[in-house]
């Protein structure tokens, strides 16, 4: 099993930067890209509950896995993975969640974009700074 801290970041290539908050024109890159070979095993870096399996783009084969962790504080999204889990599965740190898809193919091949898995973490602010529901 490959540890996440041993996985190189995608960095920059001819398609741009895979770094956090990198410019995407009028928006920002909402995650960070980790270099993965096509078909490589992808393991979760945290334990949690699989809340959803989805599609990254309409009419394309690219998939995503969402994992809720730390009592509902963090929602992790792993994009460009063929999932081997299902919604409702309880996972532990290091469990296999799927295999890296060939996202470079969508963007002109590996000469233009390094293949990668995109990782986003969304935070529920009220779980960290507090607050009361209104209504």
Residue 131 lies in a domain: no
Quick check: is 132 in a domain?
no
Domain that holds residue 50: 4-124
- Residue 90, domain CATH: 2.70.70.10
The two counts, helices (H) then strands (E), for the chain are 1, 13
pLDDT at 81: 97
- 45 inside domain: yes
Structure confidence at residue 135 (pLDDT):
65
Looking at the domain assignment, is residue 21 inside a domain?
yes
Give the model's confidence band at 5: pLDDT under 50 very low, under 70 low, under 90 confident, else very high.
Answer: confident
* 49-63: pLDDT as tens digits: 999 999 999 989 999
Mind listing the pLDDT tens digit for each residue in 7-64?
889 988 888 888 787 878 888 888 899 999 999 999 999 999 999 999 999 989 999 9
Residue 130 in any domain: the answer is no
Q: Is residue 79 part of a domain?
A: yes
User: What tens digit of pLDDT does each residue of 74-125 get?
Assistant: 999 999 999 999 999 999 999 999 999 999 888 888 888 899 999 999 998 8
The structural domain count of the chain equals 1
Length of the chain in terms of residues written: 135
Q: What's the CA gap between 32 and 19, in Å, rounded? A: 5
Residue 133 lies in a domain: no
């Amino acid at each position: 099993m490959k540890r996440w801290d041993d996985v190189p970041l995608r960095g920059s290539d001819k398609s741009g930067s895979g770094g956090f908050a990198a410019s995407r024109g009028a928006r920002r890159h909402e995650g960070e890209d980790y270099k993965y070979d096509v078909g490589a095993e992808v393991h979760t870096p945290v334990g949690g509950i699989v809340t959803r399996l989805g599609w990254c783009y309409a009419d394309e084969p690219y998939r995503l896995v969402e994992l809720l962790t730390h009592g509902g504080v963090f929602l992790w999204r792993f994009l460009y993975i063929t999932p081997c889990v299902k919604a409702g599965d309880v996972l532990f740190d290091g469990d296999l969640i799927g295999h890296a898809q060939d996202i470079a193919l969508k963007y002109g091949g590996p000469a233009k974009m390094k293949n990668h898995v995109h990782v986003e973490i969304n935070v529920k602010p009220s779980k960290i700074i507090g607050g009361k529901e209104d209504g």
